[in-house]
């Protein structure tokens, strides 16, 4: 079983590398994708078959320990039970269908190779999530899935709208990552070494003796619910999913219609012993599901395209799953998930043919033909229309057209306040910023405790500078070099803040910076090469399309972007967890600012990458004329 489990994880990654190293011909890419998808299918079916013969008992396997020092360990741990088995079966079935479909559907598509690379990366992230044995491993897969989704939504990079929607979806992902990052921290803080999923049921087995305080468990549950709601597009984050349908139809089918949309449900299933321990988290999950069902059902009826209708229909079903989970109906949720996943995959794959078929029917009839009459998408049932006053019908119709104003609500609560803070920081005089930095440096040199006891006041000042630098990068969009430097500065300041708390963890800080500083330097060199003729004071913003005009530099910038955001291919990923663990153990308040800093940095760097590398090559002609 161990070898088969590793094969399920590694085969998508190996196929991604094989496609990347291929010459780009459709025939070779199709052959690689065919054999590797079938090999992954054989591995999954064999694994599930052997697991069923063992009596469906939970199976945990630790491959190796990635890092271990002073009571902290990061084991590469995998876990198989009925929840992960159900998801793994759906991943294999739907992924195999999509690969076969795409080999023909994307024939002669300019981004053929790029698409297959991304869907295999997505499959790797999915398998890592569903087979993860602890929250840290789940978060690693969570990040892989987020980047793959980000790239697929922006697949048609010549059009501005897919690029903007990719950033919108990635922004929601990053904001909700606050919940998962803090949940990983709280898991370490509350349960110490018992952070494995297999241990959670035992920890909460006794209803009379909680493993931690009731308030701590409630807060932990809220963090999990936040992460799950964002990933599954539940209230109030429902608006991003229909916009994610800008990508190719097969990616919409496998990700946003069938699999990715259910990852929030998976997170709730995996952490069920924690949040189901008390009534309030259950009530919150039920309320979120109920509000989502109400808003998504209305919004679905006013969508002007089939993919948008299917997206909101899928959101509605996930809302029902949230409600079922609140009652503890785990088996029903798994059956509901599998049925909804296969149905939405089918609907999205056939959606390109539906309109064409209806138009052919319209052309073949002599009488007038109304597509809406056969599309079952009237705003509300006729029986209900007769009972409601006109003013209520009109109000609900406008509410549905505006999709509940959820996007505006999230903007006002999260985006706009942070942008205003960052704009105010950017508006400060440069001499004032330099003076404040010099004063902070002098204070550190004067009052730093060489005995390693730490200085909470100095670490607090550095933490303020850290989050101000991140806010500056978040609100700065016209000068990518300033954004890049601000992100790197905030990351370095995070390390300094932890060092001021406890200088004995300097090796862990060096590990973190060994991923950040090379990524910053590589990205800075790449940006200077890309923009050596730019004048940011005079050049208007356009998408510069350098993924086509300068593909090698764009690839280097993408790798630098992954390094700066702490993607699980650099030491910065492990370093982020170490800084969060060390800093918050000594000063609990530090968990929130460092988490917000990592989130804002990721959004700022993603915006730089999109604006420089996406768009039409013809759009940069204006810049060339004004150089």
Per residue in 205-230, pLDDT (tens digit) is 777 777 778 888 889 999 999 999 99
Nearest to 604 by CA among 418, 438, 341: 418
Residue 133 near residue 198, CB atoms below 8 Å = yes
Q: What is the mean pLDDT of residues 53-59?
A: 88
pLDDT over 70 percentage in the chain? 89
The Cα 600–Cα 468 span in angstroms is: 11
Type and span of the H or E element at 208: none
Banded pLDDT at 475 (limits 50, 70, 90): very high
In angstroms, the CA 89 to CA 334 distance is 12
The encoded tokens of residue 557 equal: 């910038």
Phi, psi angle pair for 22, to nearest 5° = -75, 165
589-617: pLDDT as tens digits: 888 899 999 999 999 999 999 989 988 87
Question: Is the pLDDT assigned to residue 626 strictly greater than 50?
Answer: no
Q: Is the pLDDT of residue 117 over 90?
A: yes
H/E segment holding residue 531: none
Asked if 436 and 472 touch (Cβ cutoff 8 Å), the reply is no
Task: Report how far residue 42's alpha carbon sits from residue 34's, in angstroms, rounded to the nearest whole number.
Answer: 12
135-139, 341-345, 374-378, 533-537: range with lowest mean pLDDT: 374-378
Provide the pLDDT for residue 365: 61
Binning pLDDT at 50, 70 and 90, where does residue 531 land? confident
Q: Which pLDDT belongs to residue 375?
A: 43
Verify cis geometry, omega within 30 degrees of 0, for the bond prior to 7.
no
| pLDDT level of residue 73 (50, 70, 90 thresholds) | confident
Query: Do the strands 72-80 and 59-69 form a parallel or antiparallel pair, or are they unpaired?
Result: antiparallel
pLDDT attached to residue 128: 94
Q: Look at residue 491 and tell me whether its pLDDT is greater than 90.
A: yes
pLDDT at 577: 87
> And the tokens for 559?
């790798």
> Residue 267: is its pLDDT beyond 90?
yes
Q: Does the predicted TM-score (pTM) go above 0.85? A: yes
Q: What is the pLDDT of residue 305?
A: 80
Report H helices in 381-505: 382-387, 390-401, 406-410, 416-426, 430-447, 456-475, 480-501
Question: pLDDT tens across 553-583, in order?
Answer: 999 999 999 999 989 888 999 888 888 888 7
Q: How confident is the model at residue 381 (pLDDT cuts 50, 70, 90)?
A: low
Report residue 284's pLDDT band, with 50, 70 and 90 as the boundaries: very high
For residue 403, what pLDDT is reported? 83
For residue 344, pLDDT over 60 is answered with: yes
Q: How far apart are CA 69 and CA 603, in angstroms?
A: 31
Separation CA 339–CA 297 (nearest Å): 19
pLDDT value for 599: 92
Which residues are CB-contacts of 129 (< 8 A; sequence separation ≥ 6)? 138, 141, 142, 145, 263, 266
**8-25, pLDDT tens digit by residue?**
999 999 999 999 998 888
How many degrees, rounded to 5, is the angle at CA 151 between CA 241 and CA 235? 20
What is the rounded average pLDDT of the residues 137-162? 90
Question: Are residues 573 and 567 in contact, defined by beta-carbon separation less than 8 angstroms?
Answer: yes
257 or 543: whose pLDDT is higher? 543
pLDDT of residue 623: 44
On the question of pLDDT at 488 being above 90, the answer is yes
Q: What is the average pLDDT across 517-534?
A: 90
* Range of lowest pLDDT (133-137, 169-173, 307-311): 307-311
Instruction: At 582, list the tokens.
Output: 């060390």
pLDDT of res. 621? 43
What's the pLDDT band for 307 if we cut at 50, 70, 90?
confident
Q: How confident is the model at residue 451 (pLDDT cuts 50, 70, 90)?
A: low
More confident residue, 305 or 547: 547
Mean pLDDT of 302-320: 88
Residue 270 CB neighbours (<10 A): 23
**pLDDT attached to residue 309:** 86
Mean pLDDT over each residue of the chain, to the nearest integer? 85
Lowest mean pLDDT among 116-130, 344-358, 373-387, 430-444: 373-387
Please say if the pLDDT value at position 377 is more than 50.
no
Which secondary-structure segment (H or E) carries 484? Answer: helix 480-501
Structure tokens at 471: 């806010």
Residue 376's pLDDT is what?
40
Res 61 pLDDT > 60? yes
pLDDT computed for residue 604 by the predictor: 94
Query: CA-to-CA distance for 231 and 261, rounded, in angstroms?
Result: 7
CA distance 87 to 84: 5
């Amino acid at each position: 079983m161990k070898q088969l489990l590793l094969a399920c994880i590694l085969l998508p990654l190996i196929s991604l590398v094989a496609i990347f190293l291929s010459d780009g011909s459709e025939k070779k890419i199709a052959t690689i994708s065919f054999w590797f998808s079938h090999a992954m299918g054989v591995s999954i079916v064999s694994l599930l078959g052997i697991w069923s013969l063992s009596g469906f008992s939970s199976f945990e396997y630790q491959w190796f320990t990635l890092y271990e020092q002073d009571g902290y360990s990061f084991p590469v741990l995998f876990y198989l039970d009925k929840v992960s088995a159900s998801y793994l079966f759906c991943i294999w079935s739907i992924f195999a269908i999509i690969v076969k479909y795409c080999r023909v559907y994307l024939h002669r598509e300019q981004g053929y190779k790029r698409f297959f690379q991304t869907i295999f990366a997505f499959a790797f992230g999915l398998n890592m999530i569903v087979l993860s044995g602890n929250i840290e491993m789940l978060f690693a897969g969570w990040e892989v899935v987020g980047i793959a989704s980000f790239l697929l939504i922006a697949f048609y990079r010549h059009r501005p709208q897919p690029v903007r929607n990719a950033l919108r979806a990635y922004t929601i992902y990053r904001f909700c990552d606050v919940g998962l990052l803090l949940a990983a921290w709280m898991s370490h803080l509350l349960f110490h070494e018992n952070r494995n999923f297999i241990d959670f049921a035992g920890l909460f087995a006794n209803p009379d003796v909680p493993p931690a305080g009731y308030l701590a468990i409630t807060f932990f549950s809220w963090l999990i619910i936040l992460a799950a709601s964002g990933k599954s597009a539940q209230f109030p984050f429902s608006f991003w999913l229909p916009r994610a349908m800008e990508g190719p139809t097969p990616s919409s089918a496998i990700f946003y219609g069938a699999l990715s949309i259910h990852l929030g449900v998976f997170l709730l299933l995996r952490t069920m012993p924690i949040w189901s321990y008390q009534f309030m988290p259950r009530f919150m999950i039920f309320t979120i599901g109920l509000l989502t069902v109400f808003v998504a059902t209305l919004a679905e009826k006013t969508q002007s395209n089939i993919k948008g209708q299917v997206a909101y229909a899928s959101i509605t079903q996930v809302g029902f799953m949230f409600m079922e989970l609140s009652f503890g109906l785990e088996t029903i949720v798994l059956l509901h998930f599998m049925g909804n996943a296969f149905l939405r995959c089918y609907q999205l794959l056939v959606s390109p043919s539906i309109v064409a078929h209806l138009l052919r029917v319209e052309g073949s009839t002599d009488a007038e033909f109304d597509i809406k009459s056969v599309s079952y998408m009237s705003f509300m049932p006729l029986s209900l229309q007769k009972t409601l006053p006109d003013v209520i019908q009109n109000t609900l119709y406008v509410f549905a057209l505006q999709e509940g104003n959820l996007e505006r609500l999230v903007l006002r609560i999260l985006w706009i306040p942070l942008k205003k803070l960052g704009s105010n920081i950017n508006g400060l005089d440069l001499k004032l910023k330099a003076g404040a930095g010099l004063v902070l440096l002098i204070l550190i040199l004067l009052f730093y405790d060489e005995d390693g006891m730490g200085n909470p006041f100095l670490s607090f000042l550095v933490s303020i500078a850290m989050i101000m630098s991140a806010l500056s990068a978040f609100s700065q969009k016209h000068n990518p070099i300033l954004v890049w430097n601000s992100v790197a500065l905030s990351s370095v300041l995070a390390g300094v803040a932890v060092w001021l708390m406890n200088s004995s963890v300097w090796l862990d800080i060096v590990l973190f910076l060994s991923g950040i500083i090379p990524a910053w330097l590589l990205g800075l060199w790449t940006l200077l090469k890309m923009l050596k003729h730019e004048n940011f004071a005079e050049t208007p913003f356009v998408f510069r399309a350098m993924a086509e005009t300068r593909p090698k530099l764009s690839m280097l910038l993408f790798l630098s972007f992954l390094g700066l955001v702490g993607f699980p291919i650099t030491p910065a990923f492990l370093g982020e967890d170490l800084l969060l663990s060390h800093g918050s153990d000594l000063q609990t308040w530090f968990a929130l600012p460092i988490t917000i800093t990592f989130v804002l940095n990721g959004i700022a760097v993603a915006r730089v990458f999109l604006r420089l590398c996406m768009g039409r090559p013809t759009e940069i002609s204006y810049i060339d004329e004004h150089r």
